[in-house]
Amino acid sequence: MIKTIRYKDEEFFKMLYCCGVITEYGLQLMKVSSYKLNLYKVNNMIDVVYENGIKGYKLTSKSKKIMSKKYGLKKSYTYRSIRHCSKLQEIYLNLDLERYKWITENEALLLINDKINLSCKYNKRALIYVDISPVDAIVVDRETNVAYGIEIISPSYRERDLNKKEKFLKILDIEAIFIEC
């Protein structure tokens, strides 16, 4: 049983919170032992997921509640597929998190809502953005405050899907980085 969540555990759960899944690649980068992984499974902190023979792990409802209570994290990245989430994992784990802040897709929705509400308040007219879609993550340089929207795209993306993402980024006035998976 896990009695105390240590720094390494915290980093592991934050990564899953931000990316949705961890694969073997991520486990190696984070140096997560098989003992610790089994401990997380036994304590119902992670679930095993499979896709095309690739194994990954995602947060359980229980661990999301712990993250919310302990760290105030309420809007975790929603797991979609190993293929999609593992690209986010790759970016996240190779990013200098001391320099860059990571904002999840669900947290980005809060940003856009704040921006739209603020705009409506000061323009005194209703702004309706029906045809937008948040990007997978936003990375903000803590030194310069420059933000980049990250979107993982698959071959099934249509022009209409990309346009919704671009509208979202335009409202927030940030640049896009589109990465194929």
8 A C-beta contact, residue 40 and residue 46: yes
Confidence of residue 3 (pLDDT cuts 50, 70, 90): low
Q: Which of 63 and 29 is assigned the larger pLDDT?
A: 29
The answer to whether 78 and 106 have CB atoms below 8 angstroms apart is yes
Q: What are the residues whose beta carbons fall under 8 Å from the beta carbon of 113, sequence distance 6 or more?
A: none
3-state DSSP assignment of residue 12: helix
For 35-75, the pLDDT digits (tens) are 999 999 999 999 999 999 999 999 998 888 887 787 777 77
- Give the pLDDT band of residue 26 (cuts 50, 70, 90): very high
The Cα–Cα gap between 177 and 150 comes to: 5
pLDDT in tens, 119-162: 444 444 444 445 788 899 999 999 999 999 999 998 888 889 88
Reported as half-sphere exposure (CB side, CA atoms, 13 A), residue 118 has a value of 8
pLDDT at 109: 83
Cβ partners under 8 Å of residue 12, min gap 6 = 22, 30, 32, 36, 40
DSSP strand E in 8-84: where? Answer: 22-23, 46-51, 54-59
What pLDDT does 20 receive?
92
